[in-house]
Amino acid sequence: MASDSSLSEGFLTTRVDAVVNWARSNSLMPLPMGLSCCAIEMMAFAAPKYDVARFGSEAMRFSPRQADLMIVAGWVSYKMAHTIRRVWDQMADPKWCIAMGACASTGGMHRCYGVVQGCDNFLPVDVYIPGCPPRPEALIHALMDIQEKVRNEYSVAQDGHFGQEMTPAPPARPRVLSSGGGDAVNPDGLYHQQ
């Protein structure tokens, strides 16, 4: 009888979350914070050979208002750090951050006075990529990890808070890509892929 009331056709149940997350995760717009050589690999990641358009992220946005994923690609000097933080603060929520390469993650070989020893000293980083520079595949892997993170969020409940006073959340556990390929695994083994 139920089929009569819906015009004799089948129907599908889903959650708004699933739809919203599906849309968000497949249209992440990266802000290419290309600071040095990693930016070259980031260009390859967007170019036809690796073709990040397959993941819906081919629209690199140089305006923070239009972007929701910041890719910090390269070493961050103390002078540049203030600009990066300012650009990050201008990006609209929800937003995510990838620290691409050894320099952005830890300072890398630039263990010296002028380079910030990891952009996580002032940015909430979601995914770290090892490598110097990482291959474009690694950046795609990181993007897929962000996508997975987005798909697992309760987005609608979150959006209900929009405009209210923000309370700092406990920090999300950062995810570390293993350099040996395969599933991403945290050093403490806490992260398990679904």
User: Which of 132, 154, 179, 181 is the binder for another protein (CB under 8 A)?
Assistant: 154
Piece in contact with another protein (CB under 8 A), picked from 2-10, 67-75, 146-154, 181-189: 146-154
Task: Determine, following the binding rule CB under 8 A, whether residue 155 of this chain makes contact with another protein.
Answer: yes
- Please, what is the end-to-end C-alpha distance for the chain in angstroms? 37
As measured in angstroms, the least distance from the Cβ of 79 to another protein is: 6
Question: Looking only at residues 93 through 112 of this chain, which bind another protein when binding is defined by CB under 8 A?
Answer: 93-95, 111-112
CB nearer to another protein: pick between 10 and 163: 163
Q: What's the CA gap between 93 and 47, in Å, rounded?
A: 27
As measured in angstroms, the least distance from the Cβ of 134 to another protein is: 20
What burial class does residue 78 get, using C-beta atoms within 10 Å of its C-beta: 0-12 exposed, 13-18 middle, 19+ buried?
Answer: exposed
Provide the β-strand partners of residue 82.
none
Q: Please answer whether residues 166 and 118 qualify as being in contact, where contact means their C-beta atoms are separated by less than 8 angstroms.
A: no
Whether cis (ω within 30° of 0) applies to the bond prior to 171 is: no
Which residues form the interface with another protein (CB under 8 A)? 78-79, 81-82, 84-86, 89, 93-95, 111-114, 116-118, 120-124, 149, 152-155, 157-158, 161, 166-169, 171-172, 192, 194
